[in-house]
Chains A and B, each alone.
Chain A
Amino acid sequence: MAAGVATWLPFARAAAVGWLPLAKKTMPKPPVDNSSRSDEILYVNVSGVRFQTWKNTLDRYPDTLLGSSEKEFFYNEDTQEYFFDRDPEMFRHILNFYRTGKLHYPRHECIQAFDEELAFYGIVPEIIGDCCMEEYRDRKKENQERLAEDTEANEAMDAPLPPHSTSRERLWRAFENPHTSTMALVFYYVTGFFIAVSVIANVVETVPCRPPKGSVKELPCGEKYQLAFFCMDTACVLIFTFEYLMRLFAAPSRCKFMRSVMSVIDVVAIMPYYIGLVMPENEDVSGAFVTLRVFRVFRIFKFSRHSQGLRILGYTLKSCASELGFLLFSLTMAIIIFATVMFYAEKGTKGSTFTSIPASFWYTIVTMTTLGYGDMVPNTIAGKIFGSICSLSGVLVIALPVPVIVSNFSRIYHQNQRADKMRAQQKVRLARIRMAKKGTTNAFLQYKEDRDRDSDSTALCVKNKSAFEHQHHHLLHCLEKTTNHEFTDEMTYSELCMTESVGFRTSRSTSLSSQQGAQNNSTGCCPRRARRRAAMRLANSTVSVSRGSVQELDTLHVKTTSIPPQTRSSLNAQADDLKLNCGEQDFTAAIISIPTPPANTPDESLPPSPAPIPGILRNTRATAYTHDTVKISSL
């Protein structure tokens, strides 16, 4: 209650007069208070909406933005007011907090926007009043769940494999996300098919078939075609065993995997077969053996890997555990009570089916769930009365926890739906964002071209460019000068690398290459290892671009071991012993997309501009573009 404290402090200090006659020692000097004592009205302008409040009001909470000297940063001398470029609607709530001491959460606002405003004004969300705290907490939890889901989904689905993943990691990933590779998908469908086959076989083998020749009795199909069913069962179990062992091998944490639900289901599904193989064929244990066969039906649960709906159902039941527990408990209580009553009510009747209290359990359950088989009916009047009360209360008791379970299921289901929808929309959205970004990033390369092409008519280049663009281009230019390398495009670079490594001269139409001739080709700028990685990067980057990866600019890191001083002359002159550091480097590619193909005219009269990769650059862009991406390579 900071507000209270600040207001009542003068009174508490005044009341200290009561201690003075008792004081054993002299009192310390009071603090000097230089601030103006008189209260004044402050004007706060939030995006045009003017608020006025007493200075004291804001001073109540000195650890917030408005209560501390931090607000002086926003003071506008000309208009004598504090100007904040924020949402005035939200500010209303913030200001009310100062006035009343209670922070309320406006229900119609987005929770993230509200949180941001609070963070800006330095207010801790914990002081939201009790009236709004629950709503705030719920919304916040929902939002966090959604965020967690999204990041998880993004990571899980579209994350490209780390480059040095072992076969084990790849295998695990194939198992968890089947649609990442065709092999995994095939395996996924095959296992699904065999699960279905196994379950159907289990079902069909109990159906009575026509009796074999020479016999009258009908046999279940399982016994008639015993060999066929046995073979089918063996095949299924082999596949399941193989799958389980593969998963066990690939799992990053074997203990955790073995404890997981799906693994337990797998084991339970295949164990009966092996136990059946091992067990001898004598009559005593065949009863137990038959029981084991029941466990084969658990194979149907293996479908939950294939069906998301099943997983949602399972998750719902897990999250409603408390409600289910309550339901079970109350039902048990009611069953016991009613069974006892019914038993004693019907005790005297001759030929009564209510032979004992446990026997009455069956009646109670059947009545409470309104099944009413009619195999047990009360005959006495008392029995009938209690029977009717039992059925009425049954309806109520079962109806109570069900809506909670339903609402939980609906929430989880919608979350899932939303996650799927978001993934689909994400791709479209990212594609659109990428297209918007293209416009800005190509401008620099265009600008360079223009500049180099006609260096005297700079006016042309200056046309239609904002101050921001100017400065940005200047910045990129500075970077080029700093590293003594230039920005180029992907096509030329990859082409260059491949030809260089193979070792033959390419007929490049650049002035530089024609000048430098043989020198360029000797030590490839990209020895084999680097080239392969480049190719893989290319493949990856194109794949990721086409799949709309989250990261637009996929920058790898340049690890330079030692860069020999590369002056322009040395670059040109001694390309022989110029390893160009490709050997030890992992280079990265910044993908910039350009919508329009740059100028096609190879410019022979180019001044010898610094060329990091001999014989690259713009002019080779005359070649047709298959994909419009540009790679910035830095060696």
Chain B
Amino acid sequence: MGLVMGTFSMQSKQVNYHKDKADDDLEMTMVCHRPEGLDQLEAQTNFSKRELQVLYRGFKNECPSGVVNEDTFKQIYSQFFPHGDASTYAHYLFNAFDSAHTGSIKFEDFVTALSILLRGSVTEKLQWTFNLYDINRDGYINKEEMTDIVRAIYDMMGKYTYPVLKTDAPKQHVDAFFQKMDKNRDGVVTLDEFILSCQEDENIMRSLQLFENVI
């Protein structure tokens, strides 16, 4: 009797399995992106052909389908910060990389962002950073957005820090930031205010040169 019940249940299960398999196949075939030609990319970015080749080889090896979705992106980024939780910051990064808001990063997006970050001018870098901080893309950074960002960064540190992380540390950090950046004290930071303030700060200027030779 139990066997009879068992056989019936097995039947129904099989049907579901077929349906799922079909869905998966569909998904797999749809997503396989090829980037534009090497010459075009070379023209668009500040990388040489060789560098693009190296970058693409690594990219393609890790993501054979040619695109990175948000989960994979989070996973990859989290590997570098095992102590804490890097997923929130990775989410903001993902949105910054995915300039066209398609939900996945293609090789062109990847390389464009890298080109700006590593080979771009100071203004371009600062603009990119502003875009990162401006979560809702309205052109202004307000305190909530900044708090989110700063909290995400502190999350990456994890629990075990020295000195012990206080709960209002992000808030204090944001206040200090606004103190410096918000010139007209209107509670938001615009792009011009941001660039101006950063250019005035020698430390920031110097550190922007840090990652020149990463590739």
| Chain A interface residues (CB < 8 Å from chain B) | 1, 3-5, 7-24, 26-27, 29-30, 33, 37-39, 54, 56, 99-101, 334, 337, 389, 393, 396
Contact = CB atoms under 8 A, between A and B. Distances in A.
B206 interface: yes
Contacts of B150: 22
B93 interface: yes
B121 to A, nearest CB: 13
Given A11-B110, A13-B214, 12 more contacts: A5-B79, A7-B59, A14-B211, A16-B211, A18-B96, A18-B132, A22-B150, A22-B173, A23-B203, A30-B211, A39-B54, A99-B61
Scoring B58, B93, B177 by chain A CB atoms within 10 A of each residue's CB, the highest score goes to: B58
B77 A14 contact: no
A283 to B, nearest CB: 52
B161 interface: no
Contacts of A54: 57
B210 A38 contact: no
A331 B121 CA distance: 78
Contacts of B188: none
Contacts of B215: 10, 37
A15 B54 contact: no
Contacts of B153: 19, 22
Nearest to A4: B62
A12 B207 contact: no
B52 to A, nearest CB: 12
A612 B36 CA distance: 88
B62 A8 contact: yes
B47 to A, nearest CB: 11
A170 to B, nearest CB: 60
B29 interface: no
B117 A17 contact: yes
A19 B210 CA distance: 12
A7 B150 CA distance: 27
A13 to B, nearest CB: 5
A534 to B, nearest CB: 66
Contact of B177 (A14, A22, A396): A22
Contact of B210 (A7, A12, A27): A27
A3 B1 contact: no
A337 B1 contact: yes
Contact of B204 (A9, A21, A396): A21
A12 B214 CA distance: 10
A9 B206 CA distance: 22
Contact of B173 (A3, A11, A24, A334): A24
Contacts of B57: 39, 54, 56
Given A17-B128, A22-B150, A56-B54, A3 B211 contact: no
A56 B215 CA distance: 13
A7 to B, nearest CB: 4
B201 to A, nearest CB: 8
A20 B62 CA distance: 28
B176 interface: yes
A522 to B, nearest CB: 80
Contact of A3 (B53, B61, B133): B61
Contacts of A15: 77, 93, 117
A14 B114 contact: yes
A463 to B, nearest CB: 61
Q: What band does the interface of chain B fall in when counting residues whose beta carbon is under 8 Å from A? A: 35 or more
B54 A1 contact: no
Interface string B179-215: 0010000000000001000100001101110110111
B129 A18 contact: yes
A334 B210 CA distance: 74
A390 to B, nearest CB: 10
A39 B49 CA distance: 12
B1 A393 contact: yes
Contacts of A10: 114, 118, 214-215
B41 interface: no
B80 A9 contact: yes
A509 B199 CA distance: 107
A26 B129 CA distance: 18
A276 B101 CA distance: 93
Contact of A27 (B2, B80, B132, B207): B207
B114 A11 contact: yes
Given A18-B93, A39-B50, A56 B58 contact: yes
A38 B211 contact: no
Contact of B211 (A17, A21, A389): A17
A39 B50 CA distance: 8
Scoring A1, A10, A18, A101 by chain B CB atoms within 10 A of each residue's CB, the highest score goes to: A18
A396 B77 contact: no
Contacts of B62: 3-4, 7-8
A13 B57 CA distance: 18
Contacts of A56: 54, 57-58
A201 B86 CA distance: 81
Contacts of A18: 93, 96, 129, 132-133
Contacts of B133: 18
A10 B77 CA distance: 11
B3 interface: yes
B1 A23 contact: no
26 contacts: A4-B62, A4-B76, A4-B79, A7-B58, A7-B61, A7-B62, A8-B76, A8-B79, A8-B80, A10-B215, A12-B80, A14-B214, A17-B129, A18-B133, A20-B207, A20-B208, A21-B194, A22-B150, A22-B153, A23-B203, A39-B50, A39-B53, A54-B57, A100-B61, A334-B2, A393-B2
Contacts of B117: 14-15, 17
A87 B14 CA distance: 46
Interface string B93-132: 1001000000000000010011001100000011011001
Contacts of A1: 79
Nearest to A30: B210
A10 B56 CA distance: 13
B54 A12 contact: no
B193 to A, nearest CB: 12
Contacts of A99: 61
Contact of A393 (B3, B114, B173): B3
Nearest to B126: A21
Contacts of B203: 23, 26-27
Contacts of B1: 337, 389, 393
Contacts of B129: 17-18, 20-21
Contacts of A21: 126, 129, 177, 181, 194, 198, 204
Contacts of A4: 62, 76, 79
A5 B58 CA distance: 11
Nearest to A39: B54
A8 B149 CA distance: 22
B58 A26 contact: no
Nearest to B201: A21
B131 to A, nearest CB: 10
Contacts of A29: 210
Contacts of A12: 77, 80
Contacts of B126: 21
A4 B72 CA distance: 11
A94 B207 CA distance: 41
A20 B194 CA distance: 12
Top 9 closest pairs, chain A to chain B, by CB: A7-B58, A14-B117, A27-B207, A10-B214, A12-B80, A13-B214, A18-B132, A17-B117, A39-B54
A29 B212 CA distance: 12
Nearest to A341: B1
A39 to B, nearest CB: 5
Given A17-B125, A19-B153, A21-B129, A5 B211 contact: no
